[in-house]
Structure 1
C-alpha cells in the first residue's frame, strides 16, 4: 500500500519519543508534528533529519484502513493499546 495523499494520520495520532527537528522531546499522541504541511504531507519526508521511526513506518491497510479518518482511529487505538 502507498501512503494516502492528504492523510497525515501517522503525523498526528501516534506519540513519537525520538527527537524531531524543532521538537527535541518528540511529540505526544494526538498532536500534529510541526512538519505536517497544510496539505497534510510530511515537510521533512526526504530529509536525513526525519526521525527513524517515521522513515520506518510503512502504510498498510491494517493500520491505515480505508480513509484518513479511519487511519486516525486505528493509529489512536494502537497508541492507547501499547501505552
Structure 2
C-alpha cells in the first residue's frame, strides 16, 4: 500500500530510541516527532539523518488500516504490546 500522505501516525505513536535531529535521545511513544511538519510530513524524509527505523517502516494495510485514526490506534496497541514483553 502507498503511505497515506499527511497521516503521520508512525511519527507519533511509536517510541524511537535512536537519535533524531532535534531529539538526540529519540522520542517516547505518543510524542510527536519534532521532524513532523504541520502537514504531518517528515521534514527529513530521504535524508541520511533520518533514523533507520523510520526509513525501514513500510505502510501496510494491517498496520495503517483505512484511516489515520486506525493507524494511530494500531500503532499504539503494538507499542503497548512491546512494552509488556
- Normalising by the smaller structure, the TM-score range is over 0.9
Alpha-carbon deviations, 1:37-82, whole Å to 9, x = none? Answer: 1000001002110000000000000000110010000000000001
Moved over 3 A (4+): none
Distance 1:39 1:72 in 2: 16
What residue in structure 1 maps to residue 69 of structure 2? 69
TM-score, normalised by the number of residues in structure 1: 0.98
Helix, strand or coil for the counterpart of 1:82?
helix
Distance 1:35 1:81 in 2: 26
Counterparts in 2 of 1:1-83, with a 5 A limit? 1-83=1-83
TM-superposed deviation, 1:5: 1.1
TM-superposed deviation, 1:21: 0.8
Unpaired segments of 5 or more residues in structure 1? none
Helix, strand or coil for the counterpart of 2:45?
coil
Query: What is the number of equivalent residue pairs in this alignment?
Result: 83
TM-score, normalised by the number of residues in structure 2: 0.96
